[in-house]
Amino acid sequence: MSTVAAGRHRPVAGVQVERRQLEVFLTIADAGSFTRAAARLRVAQPSLSYAVRQLEKELGVELFERLGRGVRLTPAGEALRGPAARTVRSFELAAGAVRSLGGEGYGELRFLASTLWAVAPLAPIIGAFRRVLPGVQVVVIDPRHRADVLDQLRAGSAHFGLVDGPPPTGPFESHFLVEHELVAVLPPGTEYDAAAIGIEELADRGLIATPGGTALRELLSRRLEEVGRAGDVAIETDHVAAVVPLVLAGGGVALLPSGMARAAVAEGAVAVQLAPPSRARTWLVWRAGDLDPVAAQFVAIAQELHPADGSTATTPA
């Protein structure tokens, strides 16, 4: 991709790197391809290629390696990712501090959230936030794996992440948002008279799930491991949006958060309580001490919609 030798390094002194170059670099790293990055930034792909070439020339290293239709970071690119994200965040913090004096919000908020949690509870919070600060651009990124959320927050690649399970430890702050009950979803026309279904019987009917490491699969795997049937999945799909259609088509059954289960029932699926019950707790997470005024406003709105006492936080089946 670049004419710059991967192993060639230039002394740090005198390096002149522009903010825009770092923003382009980070967007390509997140998107995994120049084409997707150009679409996100709404610019022509050649301009991105030029910005990367100039950045590589200035630093004296290759930052990306072509991989089929996409790209991946070289070791030098991986080393740059964290510092680049922190540098861009520093620009945002400085600009946000000045703009906040005028009482209006500008800039950008970046979120890392799987499809499960981007739909609920994140979407309603973003809607409420945008009604207060419509000038802020919001970007929601679907991480490849659940573990990527904390890794990228730690590196400064995003302002917020949504994770399930216990609140994370380390250099993070968090706020509890919602507790989803997990519900068994069966194909239309299924006759099931019992009040609840066990995970073993559910597995016998052919489970549909997303790949290992994703939020939906992690929720399912915890229950399967309890009965010694880890990995017992009949259909695996990268597309979480395909899980419900596969159930509706009779391909198998699924274990879904209550919101998705209700949507499936509306299309004809049969929902059954899981025995024993299982719930997923979702948290809003950010790096400790890393909130500019706009990000702090988002946290305040999230806390207002989802108080710490949990009075509006549970979504029953």
Q: What is the pLDDT of residues 40-78, one digit of tens each?
A: 888 899 999 999 999 999 999 999 998 888 999 999 999
Would you give the DSSP letter of residue 119? I
Beta strands in the chain (DSSP E): 64-67, 70-73, 108-112, 137-141, 160-164, 172-186, 196-198, 208-209, 235-236, 254-257, 270-275, 279-287, 314-315
Per-residue tokens: 270: 């049969």
Smallest CA-to-CA distance from 183 within 280, 272, 316 is with 272
Whole-number pLDDT of residue 157: 85
User: CATH no. for residue 124?
Assistant: 3.40.190.10
The number of distinct structural domains making up the chain is 3
Q: Are residues 272 and 221 in the same domain?
A: yes
Where does the pLDDT of residue 24 fall: very low under 50, low under 70, confident under 90, or very high at 90 and above? Answer: very high
**Span 299-305, mean pLDDT?**
95
The reported pTM is 0.66
Percentage of the chain surpassing pLDDT 70? 88
**Span 281-310, mean pLDDT?**
90
Contact 17, 58 (CB under 8 A): yes
Q: Are residues 215 and 249 in the same domain?
A: yes
Whole-number pLDDT of residue 102: 57
Separation of alpha carbons 169 and 189, rounded Å: 45
**Span 81-87, mean pLDDT?**
86
Q: What is the pLDDT of residues 232-272, one digit of tens each?
A: 999 999 999 999 999 999 999 999 998 899 999 999 999 99
Domain interval for residue 238: 179-280
Whole-number pLDDT of residue 33: 92
Q: Are residues 95 and 29 in the same domain?
A: yes
